[in-house]
Amino acid sequence: MYKGWYMMATHWNDFKESLNLPPEEEELINLEESLIAAVVEAREQSGLTQKQLSELCGIKQPVIARLEKAAHSPQINSMIRILKPLGYTLAVVKDASQGSSKSVSLGG
């Protein structure tokens, strides 16, 4: 389907643009990227390594590494387990800029 994409795109943004995604799909990807970045930031601000966080939340370190690299979409239960020892949780809040759309945010 995307044969040769690796030769055309040198960065994620270039590859993402080459997919010509509908705005809704691009919004979902951006939301996931933001959520993962917030988790990484929370872990780093807590001064924890992935291994230390792994021991606190009961999720194996390689799973946390894959999540932080956005190798796959994170599962909600994993996100909650990872966020809990960092002092955060997930919350569904109304996105004022989108009318009735929903967004997910970290709550501390």
The answer to whether 89 and 105 have CB atoms below 8 angstroms apart is: no
- Higher pLDDT, residue 28 or 42: 42
Write the pLDDT tens digit of every residue in 36-64: 999 999 999 999 999 999 999 999 999 99
Q: Is 9 helix (H, G, I), strand (E, B) or coil?
A: coil
Tokens 């960065």 — which residue? 11
pLDDT band at 108, cuts 50/70/90?
low
Do residues 45 and 68 lie in contact, with contact meaning Cβ atoms separated by under 8 Å?
no
Q: What mean pLDDT value characterizes the chain?
A: 82
Structural domains in the chain plus CATH codes: 21-107 (1.10.260.40)
Element (DSSP H or E) covering residue 11: none
Instruction: Please tell me the predicted confidence (pLDDT) of residue 9.
Output: 47
pTM comes to: 0.71
Q: What is the mean pLDDT of residues 9-19?
A: 69
